[in-house]
Structure 1
Amino acid sequence: MYSEEDIRRLTWQSRRGMLELDVLFIPFMEEAFRDLQKEDQDRFVKLLACEDQDLFLWLMEREVPSDPDLNRMVRIILDRVQPN
């Protein structure tokens, strides 16, 4: 489980400086991260390690990550902001 200090650090890392990413990541960290299963929290941390350009393409649905873990996390984030 992630400590509050870990969550503060991850929230800081979520600030990418690209508006399109910031409006997805920061609210996700503040409102949804704590409720994720540990495996999905780990996937989010893995996603944060990716390059901004890749993140942008995935989260704007212009490309799909080849890594199934990253693809799952992208879908979780997008489903949160684009409910059916």
Structure 2
Amino acid sequence: MTAEDLAIEKKRLWWHSRRGMLELDVLLLPFLEEVYSDLSEEDQAKYRRLLDCEDPDLFKWFMQNGRPEDEDHGYMVDMIINRVRAK
């Protein structure tokens, strides 16, 4: 991928990470900006798949009112929550 392709992909991901629900935006957008680029390709793919989930499910998982059935989704939810706790 060229630098231009990476920039376009990052913009696309920014819009997919921006959910319009403050509780999700304050988790997903900083994670994308500060962590995503340092993730392995496999973890980046897991993050992209997480963004395909519905907002009510994401909200429930991030508020720790349930767990995703998909292990990869659970892994990413935990990673994002732990990142916030570390700050």
Indicate the TM-score class for this superposition, using the shorter chain for normalisation. over 0.9
Equivalence for 2:22: 19
1:1-80 correspondence to structure 2 within 5 Å? 3-80=6-83
Name the TM-score, length of structure 2 as normaliser. Answer: 0.90
CA shift for structure 1 position 8: 1.0
Larger radius of gyration: 2
Q: 5+ unaligned residues in a row in structure 1: which ranges?
A: none
Which portions of structure 1, spanning 4 or more consecutive aligned residues, are displaced by more than 4 angstroms?
Answer: none
Name the TM-score, length of structure 1 as normaliser. Answer: 0.93
RMSD: 1.2
Identity %: 51
CA shift for structure 1 position 12: 1.1
How far apart are the structure 2 equivalents of 1:30 and 1:78? 15
